[in-house]
Structure 1
Amino acid sequence: MPSPAASARFVLAPAALAGAAGWLRRAAATMPVDASAVQVDVVIHAGRDRASIAYCLAGLCAQTLRPRRVRLVEDAAVLQDGTATIAREFARMHGLRLETVALHGAGGAVSIAGLQANALDGDVLVVLDARTVLDSPDWLARCVDALQRDPRAAAACGVRLPLGDADRRRWAQSDPFRRWLGGDDWRDPLAARDAFARVSRRLADAHGECAGLVQRRFVEVGHARLFGGIGRPSGAVAYRRRALAAVAASMPHAAVDAFSLGAAFASAGLRIVPVPGAVAREHGAHGCMGTMRARYQDTQALLGAVWPPARRAPGRGVLRALAFDRIAVPAVALALLLAGQGALLVALMAVEATVWLAALAVVVSGPRRRALAAGLAALPLRWLDLAIDSVAAGAFACRRLRQRSEWPVAS
């Protein structure tokens, strides 16, 4: 049974408490496997990513396990900005076998994964966005090893963290990147241009870094030990290609998203396993507003995956459990405010923040003081998630009522 969590931000919510209970359990002993004979293909989903594709390919060149081939998939309906040209130049200089494909209506990385599972013939299919960098040099090796150890594992996900300005400066000094530059100067086109943007992005990155570490190394590791897997693939993902092809074949292309794919794996008796030592960094949300927008969209997508009547399928119970967290936590906070129990709400928030910071201190691999300082700075954004979830749930309910659809009875 997979975990009921996809992104449990509040550690006193039921899904996070279940993860804490599982985290305390001892991990099952496994034997090392030889992943050198596994054929790994990489698919990169690209839009207008001229500014980030070189970072992405530099991360692939630094991997200890070399991919057999790399396929860059662009949406033909989007006006291109030269991403493929830069990718071909970078790949030629570093001996990467790169193919470029343009698809109409390609969709996101998850829907592209379903399409490319049948188009390629490797053992493992790694799918990532062009704004993602495999920060751990053994990311591929770790994820392939996780798939080889567990015959029921259909996908493996590492830790997904923000790609900040300092991370891009570090990658710009790496050997693959400097070789591509050929001695030319590099001005980061993704860097913040003014003081306000820099402060906003640093707060958002601190929020994403701390939340990602607690989610992936504490909550999801606990769920994997307790339930056998996690609820959905996210970020850079390594798939067992044949398992992905079999599951995606039964799903309409337009309906393939992270939530529905996770439910389909669960229905097939397969699971998604976390790999806490494999770190990938992604340039995504732009500052605090981008972080709030991403949270709103994620909550909307989760609720949409759970409650349309056409989607009552085996495996969606795990998503309903997560949706319950997204609705129940802000509902409890609102109820306490309306009941005049503001002091009790503040006390609960203080306890929750203390537990969350303690979990962060346990899972962080760098200096703890620096991580805790970042965690404290991120607390206002975490509490703002309560309001965002409330607004997203209200907007979803209004849209469903306008569509005159009946809400299914929870089974």
Structure 2
Amino acid sequence: MIQATTRTSELLELSEARTAHNYHPLPVVIEHAEGAWVTDVDGNRFIDCLSGYSALNFGHGHPDIIAAARDQLDRLTLTSRAFVHDQFAAFCAELGDLTGKEMVLPMNTGAEAVETAVKVARKWGYDVKGVPAGQANIIVAENNFHGRTTTIVSFSTDSVARDGFGPYTPGFTIVPYGSADAIRDAIDANTVAVLIEPIQGEAGVLVPPDGFLSDVRRICSENNVLFIADEIQSGLGRTGDTFACDHEGVVPDMYLLGKALGGGVVPVSAVCADTNVLGVLQPGTHGSTFGGNPLACAVARSVVALLNTGEFQARAKQLGAHLHERLGKLVGQGVVAVRGRGLWAGVDIDPALGTGRDICEALMRRGVLAKDTHGSTIRLAPPIVITQEDLDHAIDMLAEVVHERRAKS
């Protein structure tokens, strides 16, 4: 069993004293990582089963990504968008080809990509659809997680993320997740977009009913409404396909990408759409000093190159099937339910055995790092480079935790 030493305790105490308490991290202090493994300041090793909320799909320190970053660091890191650099055009073209979209708008964080999409959808509604000024509305889903900016929390149903940050931004209609009928009923003449996560990650890796994404695509097309897919967590190989929308053969009007696009090295996000959508922006209407910077573009290009091989999508599908098969055997043995797709799972623990935080702390003491969400649910999203042996060990540790707690209850 792993125990915290004086050095860990000292660093945790300093962090607690000198940072705003907007996170409640597990009591581990990491100083080195490689692949699916991280090492703390005391030399203890852990299997990373969170992957930076899918920002580390390709593992810690993937050699191709690190090589691209090092090469670019020696040459050029920032120009701002006041100038064009030599990585920019290739990045936009290659990511556009990956998504099948004509245009790419690079930003930095996932929340920035969502904010960008909101602005673009409204601008498209006024300039193209003809919605009266100031009347555009966007349909979103309950239990969504798109970020924590003031506009985004305005349409959150998570009281922790939302409460105390008003006044809230109007222009959003919230409907139950997974209900195509609710979306259809909510659309009116001023609706410009439907913004959804193809799989809701923060909510507990909730997978919508089969056919839901296809229905959303059809409803949006029939009503001249943009379909915006927030693939910031679900995209770029995590679910066994390049995008979670691919599981139903659905192509949204806008892809929102982030997290894994930066390879675990730098924050990179992007909005990808065709010219008839992103073309509504003109110089001065939107921007970011660091968006599409040379370092970010070089790193993201290496990520796109990895995805173009198809190796990681196939690996996530294969290991994901194994993950879900093994987790399914724990249902009724201390686990209430398992959801997810590919190498991504939400695991509902019997509340009688403890909270999700309790379970994650017990896993940490056994050398496995995971993250809780909402009550007794934990999320598992190991790097796609994880070996099956290491994946099995992590699942074994989860089984050990729940079995021991069942024996004591």
TM-score (norm 2): 0.28
Output the TM-score relative to the length of structure 1.
Answer: 0.28
